[in-house]
Homo-oligomer: A and B are copies of this chain.
Amino acid sequence: MKKVSIIGAGMTKFGERWDKSLKELVVEAGIKALVDSNLSGNEIEAVYGGTMAAGRLVGQEHVGALLADAMGLNPLPSIRVEAACASGGMALREAYMAIASGYHDVVVVGGVEKMTDVSTGDATIALAGAGDVEWEYFSGATFPAVYALLAKKHMAEFGTTEEQMAQVAVKNHENGSKNEYAQYQNKITLEQVMKSKPIAEPLKILDCSPITDGAAALVLASSDIARKYSDTPIEISGVGMASDTLPLHDRASLIELNATKVAAEKAYRQAGVTPKEINFAEVHDCFTIAELLAVEDLGFFPKGKGGPATQEGETALNSKISINTSGGLKACGHPVGATGVKQAVEATWQLRGEGKGRQVDNAEIGLTHNVGGSGATAIVHIMKRVN
């Protein structure tokens, strides 16, 4: 298999983007990535796009062809993939494979979601489609409720506290305050999180990622031609993906996301690195408990120790391991189909030393972790700077 590198990255400002349509968000991010890649455009051979619920949220399916059309890339093959909130990570994986296979040399990857054209209630129902609709949503369990169950279990098993979860939000808002693309650039305090409106006990509104519009894009190339276009190509050195049951009740364990563990093992093995060697990670903090599960399941901290580690500042910027330098889903925002691509955009910037006020010192190896639903899909990418 061929080696694959990121040669261009771009994203829109995340937020309530009532000024732009789905198509316009895609074009904005796509053009930024293309300009960043120094391509003329003719070298592109295919497009991979991730979006979760454009059908429900804006009535538009066939989003692959729409992306190609909007970016002026017809008649290139354009493939839309969907894995709920991991749709962006899946687009990156499929694009990676298209180049690794030798089938394509240069591919554009996009992720997009336009969520604020419907009411929050309708968005919540659309998001419920990420879980098992027959078993969970029909019984009234929307996503905050499902993650609240995971939080309750973690608290009962390991003594994890609401304050420890709240600290995830405080830390991610601190990072987001340094990111001009973040939906929320305000800092928040532990007290504010603890006193915020209850959503699904023990989760409060400030434990939850928001409803967001946004798009992100990457240009990938075969590593053997990447330096033609970029002085700082970022190599994707490991890719892992795994699935699990959609409904929680069928899982072997609720103290972990098994799909994350399986996906991470594959990615670490392919990249030939251990969790200790990772300098920073963008992990899937759709709820604060999800970040605690992630930093354990990815092997950064022992099972059950994610809460204390976070409380002690070991996941803050330039601490033991910098987690969610972008602000994460919590502060940067979570346009579900865009998130997985945005994580890779942030990793690219960090590895190039373009992290601005949130730059990780000596960033050599980064990891991105994108989860669909309550863990029925997990996708892990490991990226490194090529010196």
Binding site for B on A (CB under 8 A): 1, 21, 23, 52-56, 58-66, 68-69, 73-84, 90, 93-94, 97-98, 100-103, 125-126, 128-134, 137, 241-246, 250, 258-259, 262, 372-373, 376-377
Q: Which of B21, B64, B83 contacts A377 (CB 8 A)?
A: B64
Contact A245 B69, beta carbon cutoff 8 Å: yes
Q: Which of B65, B94, B130, B134 contacts A21 (CB 8 A)?
A: B134
Contact A74 B244, beta carbon cutoff 8 Å: yes
Interface CB pairs A-B, < 8 A, 13: A61-B84, A61-B130, A62-B82, A62-B373, A65-B243, A65-B376, A69-B132, A74-B242, A77-B243, A79-B81, A79-B93, A94-B94, A97-B103
Q: Which of B65, B76, B129 contacts A246 (CB 8 A)?
A: B65
A64-B377, A79-B90, A101-B102 are known contacts; what are 10 more A-B pairs with Cβ within 8 Å?
A1-B101, A23-B134, A52-B61, A62-B129, A62-B131, A65-B246, A69-B244, A69-B245, A74-B245, A100-B101
Query: How far is B84's CA from A54's CA once the two chains are assembled, in angstroms?
Result: 12
Query: How far is B130's CA from A63's CA once the two chains are assembled, in angstroms?
Result: 8
Query: How far is B337's CA from A323's CA once the two chains are assembled, in angstroms?
Result: 39
Point out the residues of chain B lying under 8 angstroms from A125, CB to CB.
Answer: 59
Contact B79 A83, beta carbon cutoff 8 Å: yes
Contact A102 B1, beta carbon cutoff 8 Å: yes
Point out the residues of chain B lying under 8 angstroms from A132, CB to CB.
Answer: 66, 69
- Consensus secondary structure, chain A interface: mixed
Point out the residues of chain B lying under 8 angstroms from A53, CB to CB.
Answer: 55, 61
Point out the residues of chain B lying under 8 angstroms from A97, CB to CB.
Answer: 97-98, 101, 103
| Minimum Cβ distance to chain B for residue A370 (Å) | 13
Point out the residues of chain B lying under 8 angstroms from A241, CB to CB.
Answer: 77
Contact B63 A133, beta carbon cutoff 8 Å: no
| Minimum Cβ distance to chain B for residue A171 (Å) | 29
| Minimum Cβ distance to chain B for residue A162 (Å) | 29
Query: How far is B59's CA from A76's CA once the two chains are assembled, in angstroms?
Result: 31
Query: How far is B295's CA from A305's CA once the two chains are assembled, in angstroms?
Result: 63
Chain B CB within 10 Å, residue with most, of A61, A69, A94, A97: A61
Q: Which of B77, B126, B259 contacts A55 (CB 8 A)?
A: B126
| Minimum Cβ distance to chain B for residue A21 (Å) | 7
